């Protein structure tokens, strides 16, 4: 089999299990692709080709032994460089942590290994998973940003260097780069995935999520990392949703979607306005526009208060010992966070559950929300990761979201469609994403 790096993770897994190919061959094709394009894309912070091939050979040996195998057996995965890994440095995109090494994996990395995955390497992150970009470029146009902060993960999947990758989102760091790079990005409900031994930006807002090239692949990898972890007290003890089954499950009735422009609509460009207008028209009676009114416009301020105050706390040691090695953008956020009043912080925290619960009645009538994933196509220039405003409300409320690469802008760049479900209803999000994709393909 040739060009194995182009296979979906699901198809690659089936081929490996059937003995039609091997993890070693798959990983070698991914490494070859990295050698071919990463001098331009710059998606990877750390890779050790020899070591990765050893992992793949060990996976093949395990499979041939007849021992039980995992749902990701032999499949390579990229890891955003804020997840601890015992075998690769974890440097947070900052010179303050250059060559930082740990002896333990983050919980989700350990779960990937248990599922049989091969850890291909660490992908580039924006500095401290915030707004100051790393060197990564957009695979569709090297003059444009790939988004951030999970820039390397999104770009690596989009450029067929790896089929799957982990990312995180505190504001728009999964949904926006997935939209800019034209891949599937999934941010789970708050508390569904452990963040133990992942860089803490804001424990109130941080989510671990995934990048893939298909919805089924996103379900495959996400299903392998969902679960309660006593070391992250925000994780839920509720039963795990079967995301893979949800992708192929037919809804009991054709779903209805609420089309919500949201508080970021005025920040969206004319290309996004026209593209979503055409999408709305094409969907006919399957979609209905819902106006949230101005009540949610304050979400940007409440989100900023929580995130920056939490950053000031969590990055206090780095700020004290190395502020001069931080970007001006990061310093500004930390210094604003140090000035947040306790009453404002607690009022903002109160609004998280308030906002999430306010959507409950809407999901009794509609199956999911459709809304833009980003304010437009990936902007030209590499000095910014773009505007995360289209994700802020849903991240703040802890609701599950997914970017689908269904539209294209005037410049030929991807435009993502963001789906949102009720908090805790991730399985229905996958079912509706699969249904919507098929529905639009048939139009």
Q: Which of 414, 275, 298 is nearest to 358 (CA)?
A: 298
**CATH class given for the domain over 4-247:** alpha beta
From residue 360, alpha-carbon distances to 179, 425, 427 in Å are 26, 11, 16
Q: CB of 360 within 8 A of CB of 424?
A: no
pLDDT for 203:
98
CA distance 30 to 13: 14
**Short-list 428, 385, 322, CA closest to 137:** 385
Radius of gyration in angstroms for the set of CA atoms belonging to the chain, rounded to a whole number: 20
Secondary structure string (H, E, C) spanning 78-117 = EEECCECECCECCCCCCHHHCCCCCCCCCHHHHHHHHCCC
CA–CA distance, 257 with 261 (Å, rounded to integer): 12
DSSP, collapsed to helix, strand or coil, labels residue 419 as strand
Catalytic residue among 173, 194, 246, 421: 173
- Among the listed residues 22, 80, 153, 187, the single catalytic one is 80
* Confidence at residue 328, expressed as pLDDT on a 0 to 100 scale: 97
Structure-token pair, residue 214:
């298909």
Sheet with 118-123, side-by-side order of all strands = 44-46, 118-123, 76-80, 164-169, 207-212, 184-187, 401-408, 414-420, 368-372, 257-259, 287-289
Contact 79, 192 (CB under 8 A): no
pLDDT tens digit sequence for 84-103 = 999 999 999 999 999 899 99
Residues 125, 150: Cα–Cα separation, whole Å: 5
Phi-psi map region of 192: left, alpha, beta (phi>0 left; psi -120 to 50 alpha): alpha
Q: Alpha carbon 80 to chain centroid distance? A: 10
Q: Which residue from 402, 56, 394, 397 is spatially nearest to 210, judged by alpha carbons? A: 402
Using CB atoms within 10 A of its CB, is residue 65 exposed (0-12), middle (13-18) or buried (19+)?
Answer: exposed
What does the domain layout of the chain look like in residue ranges? 4-247
Position 265 scores a pLDDT of 97
Catalytic residue among 22, 23, 132, 149: 149
Q: Find the DSSP H helices in 91-214.
A: 107-114, 151-158, 175-181
Query: How long a stretch of residues is the chain?
Result: 443
User: Which stretches of the chain drop beneath a pLDDT of 70?
Assistant: none
Contact 97, 59 (CB under 8 A): no
Q: Are strands 257-259 and 368-372 parallel, antiparallel or unpaired?
A: parallel
State residue 443's pLDDT score: 82
Distance CA 231, CA 426 (A): 22
Contact between residue 210 and residue 200 where contact means Cβ atoms under 8 Å apart = no
Could you tell me where the beta strands, DSSP code E, fall in 268-391?
Answer: 287-289, 368-372
Instruction: Confirm whether pTM is higher than 0.85.
Output: yes
pLDDT digits (tens, 9 = 90+) for 2-37: 899 999 999 999 999 999 999 999 999 999 999 999
pLDDT of residue 282: 95
Residue 173 is among the residues annotated as catalytic for this protein: yes
pLDDT of residue 2: 83
Helix 9-17 crosses helix 23-41 at what angle (to 10 degrees)? 150
253 Cα distance to chain centroid: 29
Helix (H, G, I), strand (E, B) or coil at 301: helix
């Amino acid at each position: 089999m040739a060009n194995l790096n182009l296979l979906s993770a699901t198809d690659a897994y089936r081929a490996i299990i059937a003995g039609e190919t091997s993890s070693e061959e798959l990983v070698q094709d991914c490494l070859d692709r990295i050698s071919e394009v990463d001098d331009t894309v710059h998606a990877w912070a750390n890779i050790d080709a020899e070591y990765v091939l050893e992992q793949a050979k060990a996976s093949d040996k395990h499979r041939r032994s007849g021992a039980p195998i995992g749902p990701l057996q032999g499949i390579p995965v990229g890891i955003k460089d804020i997840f601890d890994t015992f075998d690769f440095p974890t440097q947070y995109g900052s010179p303050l942590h250059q060559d930082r090494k740990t002896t333990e994996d983050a919980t989700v990395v350990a779960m990937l290994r248990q599922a049989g995955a091969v850890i291909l390497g660490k992908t580039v992150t924006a500095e401290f998973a915030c707004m100051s970009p790393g060197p990564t470029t957009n695979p569709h146009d090297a003059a444009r940003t790939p988004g951030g902060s999970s820039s390397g993960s999104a770009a690596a999947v989009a450029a067929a260097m790896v089929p799957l990758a982990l990312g995180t989102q505190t504001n728009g760091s999964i949904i926006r780069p997935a939209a800019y790079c034209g891949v599937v990005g999934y941010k789970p409900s708050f508390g569904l995935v452990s963040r133990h031994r992942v860089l803490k930006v804001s424990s109130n807002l941080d989510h671990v999520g995934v990048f893939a090239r298909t919805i089924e692949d996103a379900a495959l990898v996400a299903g392998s990392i969902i679960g309660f972890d006593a070391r992250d007290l925000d994780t839920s003890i509720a039963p795990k949703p079967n995301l893979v089954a949800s992708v192929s499950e037919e809804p009991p009735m054709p779903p209805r979607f609420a089309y919500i422009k949201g508080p970021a609509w005025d920040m969206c460009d004319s290309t996004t306005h026209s593209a979503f207008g055409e999408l709305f028209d094409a969907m006919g009676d399957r979609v209905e526009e819902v106006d949230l009114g101005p009540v949610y416009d304050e979400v940007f301020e409440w989100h900023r208060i929580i995130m920056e105050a939490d950053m000031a706390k969590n990055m206090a040691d780095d700020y004290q010992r190395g502020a001069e090695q931080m970007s001006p953008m990061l310093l500004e956020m930390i210094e604003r966070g140090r000035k947040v009043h306790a009453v404002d912080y607690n009022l903002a925290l109160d609004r998280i559950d308030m906002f999430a619960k306010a959507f409950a009645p809407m999901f009794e009538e509609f199956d999911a929300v459709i809304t833009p994933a980003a304010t437009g196509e990936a902007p030209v220039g590499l000095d910014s990761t773009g505007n995360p405003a289209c994700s802020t409300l849903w991240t703040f409320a802890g609701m599950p979201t997914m970017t689908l690469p269904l539209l294209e802008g005037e410049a030929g760049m991807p435009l993502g469609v963001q789906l949102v479900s009720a908090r805790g209803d991730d399985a229905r999000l996958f079912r509706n994403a699969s249904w919507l994709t098929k529905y639009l393909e048939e139009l």
